[in-house]
Structure 1
Amino acid sequence: MSDSKPAKRGLGRGLSALMADIEAPSLDDRRAEDNSETGHRTLPIEQIVANPDQPRRAFDPEALRELADSLRSRGVLQPLIVRPHPDGSDLYQIVAGERRWRAAQMAQLHEMPVIIRTLTDTEMLEVALIENIQRADLNAIEEAASFRQLMDRFGHTQEQLAEALNKSRSHVANLMRLLNLPDQVQAWVKEGRLTAGHARALVNQPNATQIARRVVEKGLSVRDVEALVRRQSEPSQQRKPSRKAEKDADTRALESDLSAQLKMRVAINPGGDLQSGQIVISYSDLDQLDKLCQTLGGYR
């Protein structure tokens, strides 16, 4: 298989394979498909093997034990997605659902329901990444890294990711900015010692690590960090009490989203207390004003 980077495209067959036919099959479906090459099947657990390129490496032992208890009492309600093993054996590689597979082994189950899909190595990686984003409790850095992998490996844009994953474009953009933070700050986010809100306030700050350390040590809130960043970003002799609050990354992203939705320029001006402010919508002609009134009035 060629290692060349594929041309830009929308989220394709891999996503369809992940999202299609996820509900448990009916008895008639099982009877019709149990002997087919693809579709819903029940496989002995020893015929199922992990994906060696699984993007997620860490599985919380306590969470696995809780899932194993659930599987032991209720069974596996959601089938794994697997593909025939590329070595031609009678084994199947997990495309999505390795956490359930691991918990099923702990629960000493002997077989598991599966959905078989014929996928290439590239499609398999794409599905695994998307499955992690949509179904696992990833922290902000892990989620951002998965976005980056999808964009770098498959040429997806932020807009394509946002649409396919049912997330806003600003959510995707803001998370990916976190990958610009120093490694130590990213590590604290992964450990849960900093929230995504803390981290966003530190993006592009030259002393981000020092500020983050203060947050960890003193338990500062996100608002505390934003205020601290503003104070440190301007020399004391230039500070003016009447100066307007600077816009953070979330506010700028929201301005961009609203402008794109309304097709008019939108400015969000926070007040000095950061709890209030103004939204200014600029229209260029009476037609735009009429459309804006219709939108805000909820009529056509």
Structure 2
Amino acid sequence: MAVKKGGLGKGLDSLIVNKNEGVVAVNPEQHGAPVEVDINKVEPNKLQPRKNFDEDKLQDLAENIKIHGIINPLIVQDRGKYYEIIGGERRWRAARIAGFKKVPVIIMKLSEQEFVEISLIDNIQREQLNPIEEAMAFARLIDEFKLKQDEVAERVSKSRTTITNALRLLKLDKRVQDMIVDDKLTTGHARAMLAITDPDKQYEFAERAFDEKMSVRDVEREVKKLINDKKSDKKKSADIDPQLVAVYEQTQEKLKGVLGTKVFINAKDNKSGRLEIEYYSQDELNRIVDLLESIK
């Protein structure tokens, strides 16, 4: 990853070297050689951007550590009674699995902002954050340290557009965010759904996009159609008796209960309209058809 000059903020370039080698390495001239410390005196960063750790990969790393040891020391902050991890939590977790009693660390003394920045940069360089974790880390730099988006972009060596697009993901319904974390949706899919402002409808559409294996272009097209239909329905409803609108809404809910899926009554006027029944798979369509045939 190319790192722009000054990308780590004031003072941090003198603290860190080898930023392009996939690991945050501490400048020994600033912090001295690694030291061995009791693994039980080392604790993870409570505000670590990364929340998810692949257990199988941790086991693989533990086996590797048993053979080769910990090649890159952990970077920690001295908290008095314990050392808090700035970079290297995976190595620490794997070392515990491998049964290590001590781990090599380099002890740093940083401001809280430097602490957060280095922890974030370490994870980004290793590509270990999912898009939501990354967005939450960017948001913390903005909210807690009052940085502007272009300042965050400079510190983590990304474009301002990348930061803006990442932050937009946090406006999604939490259930949709979880689908991104679980690799059920890409960020391209999710950003296209931001136009759906109702959280429940946004989540329902996200599930539909996953079930139907929609491409990003499919999602964009369907969301646009959904928004246009909604505008059209609002315009039509202005010419319909308000009492009938209420009756139609009640009827929709009744039909939804009977058919077990979304049902829409699109009234053209006070006397006519169109009844729409949604389905999300061939099996569901067959179920609905069988149900309707049984009513004969």
TM-score range, shorter chain: 0.5 to 0.7
1:81 maps to which residue? 75
Is contact 1:38–1:116 with CA below 8 Å preserved after alignment?
A: yes
Q: What is the deviation of 1:150?
A: 1.0
CA distance in 2, matches of 1:23, 1:85: 20
Structure 1 residues 175 and 12: alpha-carbon distance in aligned structure 2, compared to 1, 3 A threshold: same
Q: What is the deviation of 1:187?
A: 1.5
1:50 maps to which residue? 43
Is contact 1:144–1:179 with CA below 8 Å preserved after alignment?
A: yes
**One of 160, 173, 195 as aligned partner of 1:169:** 160
Is contact 2:195–2:223 with CA below 8 Å preserved after alignment?
A: no
Structure 1's unaligned 5+ residue stretches are: 1-9, 239-300
1:241-265 superposed Cα distances (whole Å, 9 cap, x missing partner): xxxxxxxxxxxxxxxxxxxxxxxxx
CA distance in 2, matches of 1:237, 1:110: 64
1:163-220 superposed Cα distances (whole Å, 9 cap, x missing partner): 2222222111111111111122112111211111110111132342222111121111
Is contact 2:16–2:26 with CA below 8 Å preserved after alignment?
A: no
Structure 1 residues 54 and 136: alpha-carbon distance in aligned structure 2, compared to 1, 3 A threshold: farther
Structure 2's unaligned 5+ residue stretches are: 1-6, 19-23, 233-296
- Runs (4+) of structure 1 exceeding 6 A deviation are none
1:128 and 2:86 equivalent? no
Cα RMSD of the aligned pairs, angstroms, is 3.0
CA distance in 1, matches of 2:220, 2:15: 39
Count of matched residue positions in the alignment of Structure 1 and Structure 2: 217
Is contact 1:38–1:115 with CA below 8 Å preserved after alignment?
A: yes
What are the equivalent positions in structure 2 for 1:73-152 lying under 5 Å apart? 73-87=67-81, 91-152=82-143
CA distance in 2, matches of 1:13, 1:47: 33
1:212 and 2:221 equivalent? no
CA distance in 1, matches of 2:47, 2:77: 14
Structure 1 residues 190 and 62: alpha-carbon distance in aligned structure 2, compared to 1, 3 A threshold: same
Structure 1 residues 94 and 49: alpha-carbon distance in aligned structure 2, compared to 1, 3 A threshold: same
1:68 maps to which residue? 62
SS of the residue corresponding to residue 195 of structure 2 reads coil
% identity of equivalent residues? 38
